[in-house]
A and B are shown apart, each in its own frame.
Chain A
Amino acid sequence: MQCARVGLMMRADLRMHHIGVLVKDIPQAAEEFVSRLGYVIESEIIDEPEQTARVQFLRQPGSTFWLELITPDRPDSKLSRALAKSPGLHHLCYEAEDIERVCAQLRQESMFIVASPTPSEAFEERSIAWLMDRAGLLVEIVETGTGPLSLHSIAKSEG
């Protein structure tokens, strides 16, 4: 229990932002999440050419993070192979104030850097970075902000 408390204190700079789910068809998947599980669509379908992907964000009312539906934007997208091999859960994303420092820390803690921080169209040019742990779990870090798709915007809308 003591270790869990220390862990929470050490990682207070990381807050769950979204869970990424790889799907073949965003509108169809969104409809299923809405009708079956009570999600609400909270963004348009966003083109992310640098990620060779299209994405859309959904959230359950009251939830403090989003679900991101992701699909390849063309047949030779870097996500096409992943979609063919293992659709479904793709990554976890955390929001961080100082993305460079967090990436350096996680690298020190044996995670591999997949992509260094770079501006993202989905997050209004806030930086994102990608890492992978030794179990093969893909982790995204997105820089803290105050605009749409920031945790600040959830806190504001939830009052």
Chain B
Amino acid sequence: MSTLLRMQTIFRDVLDEPSMQLAPDMSIEDTPDWDSVAMIQIVLAVEAEFDIRLTGEQVEGIRTVADIVALAQNGTS
């Protein structure tokens, strides 16, 4: 399964939107449910799914799905 699809499963679960279609260019600004609490819940789920550990600086730099996918891929490469 691709990183994006694994990420989509996480977003669907955290945001409670079972039919959500994730796209790399989706951003915090245009996804109202992706608020600051959801962001950390997504990060914690990403850490568990990809067996990585992100820093506060990395998390604060996340603005789009592509950003978090890149962190997951870099962390597991």
Contacts and interface: CB of A to CB of B under 8 A. Distances in A.
B16 A130 contact: no
Nearest to B57: A107
A89 interface: no
Nearest to A84: B16
Among B35, B47, B59, the most chain A Cβ lie within 10 Å of the Cβ of B35
Contacts, number: 33
Given A78-B35, A107-B56, A112-B59, A85 B40 contact: no
A45 interface: no
Nearest to B36: A114
Contact of B43 (A107, A112, A138): A112
B44 interface: yes
Given A81-B33, A132-B37, A136-B44, A113 B16 contact: no
**Interface-centre pick from A85, A132, A138 (highest chain B CB count, 10 A):** A132
B36 A136 contact: no
Interface residues of B, number: 16
Contact of B40 (A78, A81, A112): A112
Contacts of B33: 81
Interface of B: 15-16, 32-33, 35-37, 39-41, 43-44, 47, 56, 59-60
A34 interface: no
Interface in A105-148: 107, 112-115, 130, 132, 134, 136, 138
Nearest to B45: A136
A85 B16 contact: yes
Interface string A74-90: 00101001101100000
A138 B36 CA distance: 11
A21 B44 CA distance: 22
Nearest to A106: B56
A138 B44 CA distance: 13
B16 A114 contact: no
